A and B are shown apart, each in its own frame.
Chain A
Amino acid sequence: MNIVRLKARGSHLFLPLSVLAILIVINLIKGADYFSMTMINGALYGNIPNILFGASELVILAIGMTLVTASSRGQDISVGVAGAITSAVFVQILLGAGDITWLTILEGFLVSCVVGVLIGAFNGSLVAIFKVQPMVATLILFTAGRSISFMIDGKLSPVLANELTSQIGSVMPGVPIQTPIILTVIFIALVAVFLKTTNLRLYAETVGINEKAARLNGINPIQIKFFTYMILGVCCAVAGFIAVSKAGRHDSVNILKYIEMDAILAVAIGGNALSGGKFSISGSIIGAYTIEVLNRTFLRLEVETETIKAFKAVFIIILMVLASPVVREYIAKAKKKTGAGIEGGSAQKTGALHSSAASGPDAPAKKEV
C-alpha cells in the first residue's frame, strides 16, 4: 500500500498528462495539421489557441475549486451561477456608466469581484461556521442564482456593444494572442505568487486532513475554509468577466452553464482527492485543458453535436476507473511481479527506491552500535 501511495504522489501529473497526450495523438491521426496556426488580422488562430481560449473560464474556476476542495473536503456547485451573477453586476455597471472607458471596465470588474467575494463569504459561512456539507450549502445558490442574475439584468439579456469589451473577449490591437488567454496566464501567475508568498497551501492542506490537529497547532479552520471560498468567489468573478466579454451579451440562462461539473471534473482528473487534503493546482489546470481538448476532439472527429455528451461520459468513466486506487494498486502489483524497471521513464525512480532500500537496514543498525 505504501508503495502505491509513494508512486501515486510522485506521479500525480502522470494521468492528466498521458490523457492529454493520447488525445493529441488521436487529433494528429485525424489530421497532421493539428498544430498549425494562422495569423488572421494580426492574431494567432488554430487548434491550440482555440483550446487555450475556450478553456479560460474553466481553468480559472478549477483553481478555486481545488482550494475549496482541499480545505473543506467538498465541492462548490454554484460556481457557474456565481459567475452569472457577478457578470450581470459587471454589465449593469457598464451600461449604467453610459460612456464605456477602460476605467469604467476596471471599476465594473472590481465591483463584480467584491460581489464574488460576498458570494464566497455566503457559501463559506454556511460551510465553515454552520458545518453544512459543501455541496448542500452551495445547492442553495445553485438553485436561486440564475433567477437572481435574471433580476439584476432587468429580465432582459443586455448587450455589450462596444469596442473595449469585445477586445477583452477576443483580441487587442497589436497583440497576437487572444486576450482571454493572456488574462488566464496572468491569473495563474498571480495564484502561483500568492501560494509562494503565503502559507495557504500548508494551512489548507492541514485543515483538510485533520481539522482538530490544525486547531491545536494554532490554525483557525473556520477562517481558512472561509478564505478559500472567498478566493473561489474571486475566481467566479474573473470567469464571469471573461465569459460575458466573449459572448458580448449577458444571457442569464446560458452563461457558464454546467461549468461547475467540468470544474469539479478538472480537479479530479488533476489527481486531486475530492475528499480534501493535499492538492495540486497544476494538476487541476491540466485537467481543465484536457476537458477542453476532449470536447474539441469530438467536434473534430465530427461526432454529432447531440451525441457528444454521451461519448464524453464514456471517456470520463474510463479515465476515472483508470485513476481509481483499485486499478492503481493492481498496476503497481503487476509491475512488481514483472520486475520494477520495465518503463524507461521509471528507471530513475525505482533506482532511488532501491538505493534507499539498501540504506534502510543500515539506519536501524547504527542505533545498535
Chain B
Amino acid sequence: MQSEKVLEMQGICKTFPGVRALHNVDFTLRKGEIHSLMGENGAGKSTLVKVMTGVYEKDAGQISIEGKAIHFKSPQEAQNSGIGTVYQEITLCPNLTVAENMFIGRGRHAFVQWKRMNANAAKLLDSLGIPARPTQQLSSCSLAVQQMIAIARAIDMDCKILILDEPTSSLDKDEVRKLFELMRELKSRGVGIIFITHFLDQVYEISDRITVLRNGELIGEYEASALPQFELVSKMMGKALEDVEKMKKHEIPAKNGGVPVFEASALSSDAGVKPFDFAIRKGEVNGFTGLLGSGRSESVRAIYAADKVTGGEIRMNGKKVKISDPIDAMKHGIGYLPEDRKGDGIIAELSVRDNIILAAQVMKGFFKPLSRKQAEAFADEYIKRLNIKTASMNTPIRSLSGGNQQKVILARWLLTHPEYLILDEPTRGIDVGTKVEIQKLVLKLAEEGVSVTFISSEIEEMLRTCSRLIVMKDRQIAGELSGTNLTQSDVMHVIAGGGE
C-alpha cells in the first residue's frame, strides 16, 4: 500500500518582514500520486512551493528527495533534481515558437538542431493531445494551450515531481478534462504531482490525498476519499465557513423601477463584440456569463471604453452621454475592475496607498493632489473596511497575496463612489474566504444603491449574487435569465443553444 516517498519536507519555516509565511510545516509526496495542496490565499501554499523549488530559501527545516537530503540554492538546481513547475501565470516567451518555448535553455549543445527540436516537440504535443504546431508563435495560441505547453515543457524535463499551481484557472471544462487526462497519464508513469487549485470539485475529481494549510500552519494531511467536501472547506477557512452559510440565505435586493442608471444600445467595440443592448437599474446586480471567449469580458470592456468603442449610444440616468475613453466612464460614475489583475489592475511597484487613491486622484485632477494626510486617511479607512492584509500602507502592492491585491483594486473603485461598478472576475484565483467577503460586499453595495455588474467563471457565485444573468455566446447576447429561471441548468441550456 505505502508507496515510496519521492519528496519529504519537515518542519519548514519561512518568515518575511511583517508576515510569518510558514511555520513548522510538513509535507510528503509519494511516487505516482496526485496530492492537492489546499488553503486560502496567504495560507502559505505558494511559499511552500517556492521553498520546494529553490525560489525562496527556507529559514528552518529539512527537505529530502527520494530519501536524500537536499538544499536548493536556485530554481535551476531544483529543476535539475527533477522538480518541474507550472505556475498560474504563464512564464513562457510569447514571441518565440511553441517548440522553442518547450526546449529553450535546456540544450547541452551550443547550436540548436532545429529540425530535431521541432520533430521532438511535434511528437510530445501529439502524445499529449495539445492542439498546437511546433513552429507556431506561442502568442498565437490560446491561454489554455499555452498553459498546456508549459506543462509539456515541464514534463519533458524528465521530472519526478510536477507542481501545478492553479493550472486550471483560465481553462474551460473541456480543456480541464484534457489536462486531467494528461495528469493521470503522468501519474501512471510514476510522477508525483502536487496540484494547487481553488476549484474544490476538481480536487475531488483527481486527487489521492489532500494537505491543508491555514495561516502558514499545517492543518493536516488526509485521504481525499475520507474527507467530505464540507469538512475540507471548514478546515481551510476555520470560522469563515459560517459566512458562506449565511451568504446562501442572503436575500437578493428587490428591483427598483424607473429609469436605468446605465443604458446602452447597439454598443460595439473593436475587440469583436457584436452590437448589443444592455441596461441596469439602480441597486441591481447583474452578471454576464458564458464560456471563455464568449465575449462577456469584451462586452463590459466596451461599456467602460477600455477597448475602442466603434458604435452605439449610451444613456446614464436617461441622459445621453459620450464615453470614448476610460476617463469619460469614470467621470460618469462608472468603475471597472479588470479581469487581468496583474496586467491591467495593479501598479506593481507603487504602494498600497497609491494604488488605493489612484482612480479617485485622477478624477480629482492633475493639479489637485490629495495631501499626504488625506491620502493616508483614505488608505487607512479602506484597508480597515475591506480587511486588507498588508504590512503597511507603504508596502508595494506586488508583495501582497492575490486576494489582498484584488481588495486593494476594489478599494480603489469604492473610493470613487461609483454609481455603476463593473467587476470582471473579482474572485478569480483568490481564496474562498475572500471570495465570500467580496460577494457580501457586492450585495451590500447593491443595498446602498450602487448598480453592479458581476462576472465570474464560477456560475454558483453568480447565481448567488446576481438577480439577472445575461448569457453570452459567440460574442453576442444569447439570452437573459432572471427571477425563477435562475438555475445552473437554465444557463447551460442557453449556452448549449437549446434556446427554448
Contacts and interface: CB of A to CB of B under 8 A. Distances in A.
B369 A363 contact: no
Interface core residue of B346, B348, B354, B366 (most chain A CB under 10 Å): B366
B17 A213 contact: no
Given A6-B17, A357-B18, A360-B18, A213 B346 contact: yes
A205 B350 contact: yes
A321 to B, nearest CB: 20
A203 B330 CA distance: 16
A218 B327 contact: yes
A257 interface: no
Contacts of B216: 361, 364
A363 B389 contact: yes
A95 to B, nearest CB: 39
Interface core residue of B238, B327, B368 (most chain A CB under 10 Å): B327
B367 A197 contact: yes
Interface string B363-396: 1011111000000000000000001010110011
B391 A360 contact: yes
Contacts of B15: 357
Interface in B320-356: 325-327, 330, 336, 338, 343-350, 354
Interface in B285-319: 304, 306
B414 interface: no
Contacts of A353: 17-18
B19 interface: yes
Contact of A209 (B336, B348, B359, B361): B348
B300 to A, nearest CB: 12
B215 interface: yes
A131 interface: no
Interface residues of A, number: 40
A198 B396 contact: no
Contacts of B239: 367-369
Interface in A1-47: 1-3, 5-6, 9
A216 B350 contact: no
A51 B389 CA distance: 48
Interface residues of B, number: 49
A359 B412 CA distance: 26
Contact of B344 (A198, A212, A367): A212
Nearest to B359: A217
Given A199-B366, A356-B18, A364 B358 contact: no
Given A213-B344, A218-B330, A368-B238, A3 B17 contact: yes
A337 to B, nearest CB: 10
B136 interface: no
Given A216-B336, A217-B326, A218-B359, A205 B17 contact: no
B173 interface: no
B482 interface: no
B399 interface: yes
Contacts of A1: 56
A215 B326 contact: yes
Contact of B343 (A199, A212, A368): A212
B326 A218 contact: yes
A33 B317 CA distance: 76
B358 A206 contact: yes
Contacts of A277: 349
Interface string B153-195: 0000000000000000000000000000000000000000000
A219 interface: yes
A324 interface: no
B206 interface: no
Contacts of A359: 18
B17 A198 contact: no
B16 interface: yes
A206 B304 CA distance: 20
Nearest to B304: A216
A254 interface: no
B366 A218 contact: no
B259 interface: no
Contacts of B215: 361, 364-365, 368
Given A209-B349, A212-B343, A360 B20 contact: yes
Contact of B17 (A214, A357, A364): A357
Given A218-B362, A220-B327, A2 B16 contact: yes
A206 B347 contact: yes
A199 B347 contact: no
Given A6-B17, A278-B349, A357-B20, A216 B338 contact: yes
B1 to A, nearest CB: 36
Contacts of B368: 199
A110 B56 CA distance: 56
A162 interface: no
Contact of A217 (B42, B349, B358): B358
B366 A203 contact: yes
Contact of A364 (B42, B325, B344, B395): B42
A213 B349 contact: no
A202 interface: yes
A308 to B, nearest CB: 37
A206 B330 CA distance: 17
A3 B18 CA distance: 10
B327 A202 contact: no
Contacts of A101: none
Contact of B369 (A197, A220, A357, A367): A197
B330 A361 contact: no
A213 B345 contact: yes
A216 B306 contact: yes
Interface string A152-174: 00000000000000000000000
B211 to A, nearest CB: 19
Contacts of B361: 199, 202
Given A199-B361, A356-B391, A368-B215, A2 B399 contact: yes
Contacts of B358: 202, 206, 217
B367 A198 contact: yes
B253 to A, nearest CB: 27
A213 B348 CA distance: 10
A367 B363 contact: no
A210 interface: yes
Interface core residue of B216, B238, B363, B391 (most chain A CB under 10 Å): B391
Contact of A5 (B19, B338, B350, B396): B396
A364 B391 CA distance: 11
Given A219-B362, A364-B389, 17 more contacts: A1-B56, A2-B17, A200-B366, A202-B369, A203-B362, A205-B349, A209-B348, A209-B350, A213-B344, A213-B347, A217-B358, A217-B359, A356-B17, A357-B15, A360-B391, A364-B42, A365-B215
10 contacts: A197-B367, A199-B362, A216-B304, A356-B17, A356-B392, A360-B20, A361-B20, A364-B215, A364-B216, A368-B238
- 3 closest A-B pairs by CB: A218-B327, A218-B362, A356-B18
Interface of B: 15-20, 42, 56, 215-216, 238-240, 304, 306, 325-327, 330, 336, 338, 343-350, 354, 358-359, 361-363, 365-369, 387, 389, 391-392, 395-396, 399, 412, 433
